[in-house]
Amino acid sequence: MKHKLMVVSGPSGVGKGTIVKTLIKRRSDVVESVSCTTRAPREGETHGKEYFFLTKAEFLERLEKQDFLEYDEHFGNYYGTPISFVEETLKTKSVILEIDVVGALNVKKRLPEAVLVMIVPPSIEELKRRLEGRETETAEQIQNRLSRLEYELSQKEKYDFVVVNDELERAISEVEGILDGSACKK
Ligand code: ADP
Ligand code: 5GP
């Protein structure tokens, strides 16, 4: 089977990280691309694992060298996908990118074979509960993230697949089915 480049997006707090991390733990033929960011690490995050944490100057230097498949700015920080890692890994494994809508559409423009998957919450109230329950952002940061919600959800038609993260195991199986090519495109 040909290895896939899968791009997973969705509002902050919807469960993207939980779904992707579980999938990667279960599958040795799938890896997650580690993005570069200029934001500060959250408690428990380590350099090279969740992100490569760069200074703004380092990020801009790599951007100049065309080291990113795509990049974008969120909440005042830069985020980018290192192209070399993606290209090299796709020779032997499938790669998942967990990036926002703008980044995902930019990837699709450059690599049309990429499969775009949007994870959506069962309801806005449930999304708020998950964001608050995660306890990693301030109330202001949560509000900031929720303000992007309408825009993000309005872009779902541009995605190849939309998965509702209602029950976690069900959502994981659905994403796995897409990865294995057994899910029907909408
Ligand atoms: P994202 O990566 O999209 O920002 P996370 O994976 O960090 O979101 O999930 C946000 C919170 O929601 C976490 O505390 C996670 O444990 C919880 N969560 C994820 N999926 C579900 C689900 N299906 N039902 C209930 N809680 C969930
Ligand atoms: P967080 O700070 O919560 O980890 O991520 C903030 C936002 O940045 C999320 O919407 C996430 O999907 C997005 N993001 C993470 N990595 C990348 C990347 O490499 N490129 C782009 N365009 N967005 C990213």
Report the distance separating Cα 10 and Cα 119, nearest Å. 5
State the sign of the Cα–Cα–Cα–Cα dihedral 81, 112, 95, 115: positive
Burial 140-171 (b: 16+ CB within 10 A, else e): eebeebbeebeebbebbeebbbbbebeeeeeb
Q: Which ligand is nearest the CA of 96, by number? A: 2
pLDDT of residue 147: 86
Cβ of 156 below 6 Å from ligand 1: no
Closest Cα to atom 6 of ligand 2: 74
* pLDDT tens digits, one per residue of 33-75: 999 999 999 999 999 998 999 999 999 999 999 999 999 998 8
Q: Decide: 15 and 171 in contact? Cβ < 8 Å.
A: yes
Domain 5-180 annotated CATH 3.30.420.310: no
Q: Cβ-count burial of 126 within 10 angstroms (0-12 exposed, 13-18 middle, 19+ buried)?
A: middle
Q: Which ligand is nearest the CA of 8, by number? A: 2
**Binned average pLDDT, 10 residues per bin, the chain of 186 residues:** 90 94 95 95 94 97 95 92 93 94 94 96 93 87 86 94 97 96 71
Closest Cα to atom 9 of ligand 2: 100
Closest Cα to atom 15 of ligand 2: 99
Report the distance separating Cα 90 and Cα 158, nearest Å. 24
Pocket test for ligand 2, best of 35, 59, 81, 149 (most atoms within 8 A of CB): 35
How far is ligand 1, taken at its centre, from the CA of residue 71, in Å? 24
Atom of ligand 2 at shortest range from CA of 68: 19
pLDDT of residue 185: 67
Question: The whole model's pTM is what?
Answer: 0.87
Atom of ligand 2 at shortest range from CA of 36: 19
Q: Decide: 118 and 10 in contact? Cβ < 8 Å.
A: yes
- Sequential DSSP letters for 133-158: HH--S-HHHHHHHHTTHHHHHHTGGG
| Domain layout of the chain by residue ranges | 5-180
Residue in the structure block whose two tokens are 């029950």 = 167
